[in-house]
Amino acid sequence: MKSVQEYVMNFNSRMKMNFQGGDLTSDAGLLLYKEFDHKLGLSESVEELLVVHDSAFHREHPNSDVVLQKMYQHIAGYHTDDHADDLAVEPFLTALLGKNRLASQPTVSRFNEKADMATAKDLISSINHSSSNSYVRTTRMALFFSSPRIGLF
């Protein structure tokens, strides 16, 4: 029987998973979600298709980045916006999301004020229409609706 010695993540080749100890995090399970996200192209779809009726230009934390941050925060068990301040410079999550610093609680809360259920429905509809593969389309939509704890809006 073979065991996994080291596995390089497809979404970021600098991230490796091994079972030799060293730097540890209690959020390492997010690697599997991120790898699944990468295979489906969910993050790319959110970045490309999210439309929030907001006249402000957000250089450091675009609306799509805030949505993805909220999604991964919820998956990891950080369900309130207040957690965003503690996680803003957390090494694993910043590396996972490819940022130097994540959005703070005020930024996340401002996004919540701008986005509404219509925003979520428009995003899901756009993702469904953008994918020609019905399995991928259904799976992407299920990610948004499958758990009330992941409610993004």
User: Using one digit for the tens of pLDDT, what is the confidence trace for 40-92?
Assistant: 888 988 888 888 887 777 778 999 999 999 999 999 999 899 999 999 999 88
- As a whole number of angstroms, the distance between CA 36 and CA 135 comes to 14
What H or E segment, with its residue span, contains residue 86? helix 83-87
Tell me the CA distances in angstroms from 46 to 16, 77, 89, 129, one per residue in order: 25, 21, 23, 13
**Per-residue pLDDT reduced to its tens digit, 111-132:** 888 888 888 888 878 877 765 5
| pLDDT value of position 89 | 92
Work out the percent of the chain whose per-residue pLDDT is above 70. Answer: 71
What domain count does the chain have?
A: 1
Residue range of the domain that includes 10: 6-15+27-49+56-150
- As a whole number of angstroms, the distance between CA 108 and CA 85 comes to 10
In a domain, residue 40? The reply is: yes
In a domain, residue 43? The reply is: yes
